[in-house]
């Protein structure tokens, strides 16, 4: 690299008239190359540091140094303290930054429901599947893709920007409300809650209930075995709650670890005789001609991020819930109440300021 001293001398020659225009061009090129080399050397030097100081992290995040200590204590910014000096592992700081991107621009920005694709994730439901088919028959401008991940999976996908609508029915600790607390714990900002239906939850039993099952406690009998729903589903959460408030424990229930992913799969296990009972919704009992022990009615909601709520694809799907064709579908299945369907369940949340 040409030294600054050489450049200084050449500039003096130019001022005196001892260097021509071509020489000036060469000089400027030299200065440009020097700048590039200095920048590359600085970047390589910083990149080679596995640990950053408090000042370097503050410069990286473009915040005051005092704010760094707050981020360590309140937001979990990765750091270690050695002989009274804070050090920050560069790799972990970069991962921490990635994990705290709120709008997830690389994904969310490419997932607009106005682009002809509507992504839905969450709880399994027979009526909901029929509504997706109805939507496809009525609208040719949008394709709906549904991922059966359970209620918690729906909220998680919503947080990660992997879907437009999360479908959930998670019973809260107060034993009355659904979904609100779980969304508050999982999401950075409260979504809009729109009711899809109310459903009757319970236990599927063989036709005629040959073993005379009348309560959750009967599932612990020696002559009983069950199929269960997967962890993270609202049905599993409710079932575990009902067991916890009974006189039995999960260790006494044969087949408790035998998990299936859908309500219909649970019903087929009972219908085939492979198991004697399974938690599921009444709609499946009606579809397969099974007996049913009612546990409770629950609220089944659609969760939508506020920023996306008024997108055309989402609004088209929600508007379908007010159509007579949807009401007819709901009337064909047992165990549904659609009196709240399409109504916003948490309107105050939608209007709150951050």
The pLDDT of residue 106 is: 40
Report the pLDDT averaged over residues 107-126: 82
Please tell me whether residues 128 and 184 are part of one structural domain. Answer: yes
Please tell me whether residues 307 and 293 are part of one structural domain. Answer: no
Tell me the average pLDDT of the chain.
Answer: 84
Q: What tokens appear for 161 in the block?
A: 């920007």
Report the pLDDT averaged over residues 94-123: 72
Residue 282 is part of a domain; what is its CATH number?
Answer: 3.40.190.10
Crossing angle of the two packed helices 21-48 and 4-16, in degrees rounded to 10: 160
**pTM for the whole thing?**
0.68
Please tell me whether residues 282 and 317 are part of one structural domain. Answer: no
Rounded Cα distance, 184 and 159, in Å: 11
Q: What tokens appear for 225 in the block?
A: 């075995």
From the list 180, 280, 206, 190, the residue with the least C-alpha distance to 239 is 280
From the list 232, 78, 262, the residue with the least C-alpha distance to 166 is 232
Rounded Cα distance, 155 and 165, in Å: 9
Report the pLDDT averaged over residues 259-263: 96
Percent of the chain clearing pLDDT 90 (strictly above): 58
Looking only at Cα atoms, what is the longest distance across the chain?
Answer: 111
Task: Answer with the residue of higher pLDDT: 18 or 330.
Answer: 330
Please tell me whether residues 93 and 83 are part of one structural domain. Answer: yes
Which of 100, 130, 165 is a domain's end point?
100
What are the tens digits of pLDDT across the range 337-353? 999 999 999 634 444 44
Please tell me whether residues 161 and 239 are part of one structural domain. Answer: no
Please tell me whether residues 279 and 304 are part of one structural domain. Answer: no
Confidence of residue 30 (pLDDT cuts 50, 70, 90): low
What are the tens digits of pLDDT across the range 175-228? 889 999 999 888 988 899 999 999 999 999 999 999 999 999 999 999 999 999
Please tell me whether residues 282 and 235 are part of one structural domain. Answer: yes
Report the pLDDT averaged over residues 27-32: 56
Domain that holds residue 268: 200-297
Residue at token pair 């592992």: 89
Please tell me whether residues 259 and 216 are part of one structural domain. Answer: yes
Number of domains in the chain: 4
Please tell me whether residues 184 and 307 are part of one structural domain. Answer: yes
Report the pLDDT averaged over residues 307-320: 93
Please tell me whether residues 147 and 282 are part of one structural domain. Answer: no
Please tell me whether residues 77 and 222 are part of one structural domain. Answer: no
Task: Answer with the residue of higher pLDDT: 180 or 21.
Answer: 180
The pLDDT of residue 36 is: 55
Rounded Cα distance, 146 and 317, in Å: 13
Report the pLDDT averaged over residues 102-110: 47
Q: What tokens appear for 242 in the block?
A: 């009902």
Rounded Cα distance, 166 and 154, in Å: 4
The pLDDT of residue 102 is: 53
Residues shown for the chain: 354
Point out the least confidently predicted range of 58-62, 72-76, 320-324: 72-76
For the cut 80, the answer to whether the pLDDT of residue 267 exceeds it is yes
Report the pLDDT averaged over residues 18-45: 53
The pLDDT of residue 351 is: 46
Task: Answer with the residue of higher pLDDT: 250 or 38.
Answer: 250
Rounded Cα distance, 316 and 312, in Å: 6
For the cut 70, the answer to whether the pLDDT of residue 252 exceeds it is yes
The pLDDT of residue 117 is: 93
The pLDDT of residue 42 is: 45
For the cut 60, the answer to whether the pLDDT of residue 35 exceeds it is no
Please tell me whether residues 187 and 204 are part of one structural domain. Answer: no
The pLDDT of residue 222 is: 97
The pLDDT of residue 41 is: 52
């Amino acid at each position: 690299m040409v030294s600054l001293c050489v450049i200084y001398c050449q500039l003096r020659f130019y001022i005196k008239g001892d260097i021509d225009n071509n020489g000036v061009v060469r000089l400027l090129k030299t200065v440009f190359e020097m700048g590039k080399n200095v920048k590359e050397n600085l970047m390589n030097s910083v990149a080679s540091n596995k640990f950053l100081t408090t000042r370097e992290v503050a410069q990286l995040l473009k915040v005051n140094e005092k704010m760094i200590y707050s981020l360590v204590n309140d937001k979990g910014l990765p750091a270690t303290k050695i002989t009274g000096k804070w050090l920050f592992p560069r790799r972990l700081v970069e991962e921490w930054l990635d994990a705290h991107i709120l709008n997830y621009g690389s994904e969310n920005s490419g997932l607009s429901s106005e682009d002809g694709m509507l992504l839905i994730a969450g709880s399994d439901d027979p009526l909901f599947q029929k509504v997706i088919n109805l939507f496809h028959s009525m609208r040719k401008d949008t394709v709906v893709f549904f991922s059966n991940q359970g209620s918690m999976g729906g909220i998680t996908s919503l947080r990660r920007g992997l879907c437009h609508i999360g479908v959930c029915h998670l019973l809260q600790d107060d034993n009355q409300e659904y979904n609100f607390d779980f969304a508050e714990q999982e999401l950075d900002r409260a979504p809009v809650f729109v009711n899809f239906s109310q459903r009757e939850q319970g236990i599927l039993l063989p036709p005629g209930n040959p073993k005379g099952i009348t309560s959750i406690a009967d599932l612990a009998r020696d002559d009983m075995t069950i199929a269960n729903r997967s962890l993270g589903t609202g049905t599993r959460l409710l079932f575990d709650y009902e067991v916890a408030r009974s006189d039995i424990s999960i260790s006494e229930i044969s087949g408790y670890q035998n998990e299936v992913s859908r309500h219909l799969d649970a019903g087929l296990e009972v219908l085939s005789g492979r198991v004697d009972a399974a938690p599921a919704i009444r709609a499946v009992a009606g579809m397969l001609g099974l007996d049913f022990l009612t546990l409770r009615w629950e609220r089944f909601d659609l969760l939508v991020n506020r920023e996306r709520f008024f997108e055309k694809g989402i609004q088209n799907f929600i508007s379908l819930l007010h159509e007579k064709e949807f009401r007819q579908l709901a009337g064909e299945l047992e165990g549904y109440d659609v009196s709240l369907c399409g109504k916003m369940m948490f309107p105050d949340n939608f209007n709150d300021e951050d």
